[in-house]
Structure 1
Amino acid sequence: MSIRPILLAAGGTGGHLFPAAALAQELGRRGYSVELVTDDRAEKYGIDFPARAIHRIPSATMTSKSPVAVARTFWQLGQGYLDALNLLKGVEPRAVIGFGGYPTLPPIFAARSLKIPTAIHEQNAVMGRANRLLARFVDRVALSFPETKKLHRRAQAKVRLTGMPVRDAVIAYRDVAYVAPEPASRLLILIFGGSQGAHFFSELLPQALSRLPSPFRWRLTIVQQARDEDVASLRQAYKDINVAAHIATFFRDLPERIATAHLVIARSGASTVAELMSIGRPSILVPLPHALDNDQLENATRVQDGGGGWCIRQEDLTPERLSREIERLFGAPELLAKAAAKAKAMAQPYAVKKLADLAEELARENP
């Protein structure tokens, strides 16, 4: 195994860490050692990250345009840059690959200062703010979608279309066939969507399901992610309407739960969309509203246009509408089966190999 690692840099959320983990797994199979640099939020997602070392450096996200907030952000990023310089001098990576989020800025700029080859991977159909800034400076830009919005024209020549890599835990369920529900059988719905999505769905789902006929409700099994403060009230709400439900704040076995679901209701972050397509499951996607770049709306629209699911904006998703949609889809299971097949057809099963090829190219440039 290579002593000098390939360093991956990712913001501390699942949307950034999961594709980075997929690449780390593939690079490990090819004999490379991998190290990760991220922020403190990664504790929730990155505890099992396949890296020989995980580093955390100071970073900050631009959340306000006030002079004090801007100054504080730049001070933290500057401190992160100095820490990243020291880290890279000690680790001596053969390449640095970023996966978005502001924690990628210090290590990528430090790598550029040290003339270490760099690349970024964009998961969404719209370039994120950090990647948008970095695209002009890195050596390669890997994209998940062939037409990615807000990509700077100066970065076009560096582009490589790799697709969105998914973890081994997701690929393991790719060959599990979708089985449409039969008349009078159990109906399993999986609901998840980050902290904001979890709260919205916790309020919406019981209201929507309460409008279904009793015989229909008795067939349902709900598996739902919820915030800590919503768990008790959500359990009681389902109990009140006689719906079987399993509630948790986080599912570490999410790929398996996707594979067993008849219908998924979720936000439309890049990792969610990629995993739904890889496993091939029908979904109702509710993009995060008021997002700066509408990246989730773009992701969900691509899925809907490909026939793999249904995109409904949050402001349009009333309990009455969701109730009608659920009853309509389960009343015509062939629609669910068709969407599952379309979703799987949109998947990019070789994305992680293409991204690993790109990483190897960079590593060879810095022998």
Structure 2
Amino acid sequence: MTGPVVIAAGGTGGHLFPGQALAQELGRRGIRVAVITDERVAGVDLRFPDTEVFAVPSATPSGGGVLGMARAALPILLGILAARKVLVGLDARLVVGFGGYPTLPPLVAALLRKIPTVIHEQNAVLGRVNRLMAPRVTGIASTFEAPKYLAASDVPRMTVTGNPVRDQIVAVADRPYVPSTKDAPFNLLVFGGSQGARVMSDVAPLALAQLPPDARARLRVVQQARPEDVSRVEAVYHQAGISVDVAPFFEDMHERIANAHLVVARAGASTVTELAVVGRPAILVPLPHAIDQDQLANAHVLSEAGGGWLIPQPEFTPDALTAKLVSLMADPQTLAEAAAAAKKVARRDAAARLADMVEALALESDIG
């Protein structure tokens, strides 16, 4: 293969993590990778070491309607022109987009250059950019068998790969779930995705502070919180006498997940996938205001399989979480069964499946 496979990803960890997993797998196969993202490049280059990372303009239409689209049009157009220049300079073989508006300029630029394109949809609901690009790309990779909004005419070009997880997650996937006994420490992990979620900082500390003294004594809490929320979250836990580690981000999140007896989290695609691959039970609180309700659909997949419990955000109150934790901390068998059920949902070989698809299409391009 002469030129690289270009990964187009940006924005949240939900888009970056599967791109990172694909890059790791392609690297093992000796296939060169480059990355195109938007101007938030600082966090991206850390996840793609020894890889060329290019930033091009992009924008997300805000406010809705014609005005929102008009404001985004110029940055997207500039991004397409910049991405076209990058693709020509790299002699790119194929572009893989992982959803979100940062992927739109490189995908459109690839189409204009007649470079093969693949989109990967992590969620049970096709995102807006992937929905726009699905009829136009060479191939479609999906985590789920029948993602919502995928047109029947596009199904023949779809391959179910699963959602790729990073090597760090695969490395702890075989670590068994060991239930916490009545008097032993209970490891609780609370997080809201790569950008944090204020509702976790508002609800979880108050809920845990209401637990009976014996339950609070057992708790070992790890909580992700936005930088501006760290001090107030710590204060509530310390006042309640609860052992806690609070930070805006944990680079060793794979270890934190593997060590958890229970996770309380949003229901982003990467979160749900990683919980399934490692096999850890979770209380999932989907983002309530998402236009397509993709997190709700993701949470249903895990909860309906018996791998966790879905609590809509309006019902996610301190009292409700306290009651749920009292019940689950006293029932290690239920938690162990949920951990096993979560693992049955996982596609651990998703990165290899997606790499097979990408490699085959890129080689076809090279031969052509």
Common fold: TM-score over 0.5? yes
Name the CA distance, whole Å, in 1 between partners of 2:276 and 2:346: 5
Could you tell me which residue of structure 2 aligns to residue 125 of structure 1? 124
Shift of 1:70: 2.3
Deviates more, 1:187-196 or 1:236-245: 187-196
Could you tell me which residue of structure 1 aligns to residue 101 of structure 2? 102
TM-score where L is the length of structure 2: 0.97
Shift of 1:66: 5.3
| Per-residue deviation, residues 157-187 of structure 1 (Å, max 9, x unmatched) | 2111111110100000011000000111001
| Per-residue deviation, residues 78-111 of structure 1 (Å, max 9, x unmatched) | 1111111111111111111110011111111111
Could you tell me which residue of structure 2 aligns to residue 159 of structure 1? 158
Name the CA distance, whole Å, in 1 between partners of 2:149 and 2:142: 12
3-state SS of 1:37 partner:
strand
| Per-residue deviation, residues 174-214 of structure 1 (Å, max 9, x unmatched) | 11000000111001100111377531111101211122111
Shift of 1:69: 3.3
3-state SS of 2:88 partner:
helix
| Per-residue deviation, residues 265-303 of structure 1 (Å, max 9, x unmatched) | 000000001100111100000000111000000000110
RMSD, aligned α-carbons:
1.3
3-state SS of 1:82 partner:
helix
Could you tell me which residue of structure 2 aligns to residue 7 of structure 1? 6
Name the CA distance, whole Å, in 2 between partners of 1:67 and 1:99: 25
3-state SS of 1:358 partner:
helix
| Per-residue deviation, residues 277-331 of structure 1 (Å, max 9, x unmatched) | 1111000000001110000000001100111111110101111110011110111
Q: Check if 1:294 corresponds to 2:299.
A: no
Name the CA distance, whole Å, in 2 between partners of 1:190 and 1:46: 27
| Per-residue deviation, residues 123-167 of structure 1 (Å, max 9, x unmatched) | 000000010001010010000011210112331221111111101
| Residue correspondences, number | 366
3-state SS of 1:194 partner:
coil
Name the CA distance, whole Å, in 1 between partners of 2:63 and 2:84: 27
Could you tell me which residue of structure 2 aligns to residue 80 of structure 1? 79
Name the CA distance, whole Å, in 1 between partners of 2:138 and 2:124: 20
Could you tell me which residue of structure 2 aligns to residue 245 of structure 1? 244
Does the CA contact (< 8 Å) of 2:61 and 2:72 recur in 1? yes
Could you tell me which residue of structure 2 aligns to residue 327 of structure 1? 326
Alignment of 1:1-367 (within 5 A): 2-50=1-49, 52-65=51-64, 67-194=66-193, 198-367=197-366
Name the CA distance, whole Å, in 2 between partners of 1:51 and 1:350: 24
Deviates more, 1:194-203 or 1:149-158: 194-203
3-state SS of 1:48 partner:
coil
Name the CA distance, whole Å, in 2 between partners of 1:180 and 1:37: 43
Distance 1:51 1:98, change over 3 A: farther
Does the CA contact (< 8 Å) of 1:14 and 1:45 recur in 2? no
Name the CA distance, whole Å, in 2 between partners of 1:186 and 1:136: 52
- Paired residue type of 1:230: D
Shift of 1:43: 2.3
- Paired residue type of 1:311: L
Distance 1:196 1:98, change over 3 A: closer
Deviates more, 1:241-250 or 1:2-11: 2-11
Shift of 1:75: 0.9
- Paired residue type of 2:159: R
Percent sequence identity over aligned pairs: 48
Distance 1:4 1:51, change over 3 A: farther
Give 5+ residue unaligned stretches, structure 1.
none
Name the CA distance, whole Å, in 2 between partners of 1:116 and 1:66: 31
- Paired residue type of 2:236: A
Does the CA contact (< 8 Å) of 1:19 and 1:165 recur in 2? yes
Does the CA contact (< 8 Å) of 1:221 and 1:244 recur in 2? yes
- Paired residue type of 2:110: A
- Paired residue type of 2:357: L
Distance 1:196 1:172, change over 3 A: closer
3-state SS of 2:7 partner:
strand
Deviates more, 1:61-70 or 1:204-213: 61-70
| Per-residue deviation, residues 232-286 of structure 1 (Å, max 9, x unmatched) | 1111111111111100000111011000011000000000011001111000000
Does the CA contact (< 8 Å) of 1:282 and 1:308 recur in 2? yes
Distance 1:178 1:46, change over 3 A: farther
Give 5+ residue unaligned stretches, structure 2.
none
Distance 1:111 1:51, change over 3 A: farther
TM-score where L is the length of structure 1: 0.97
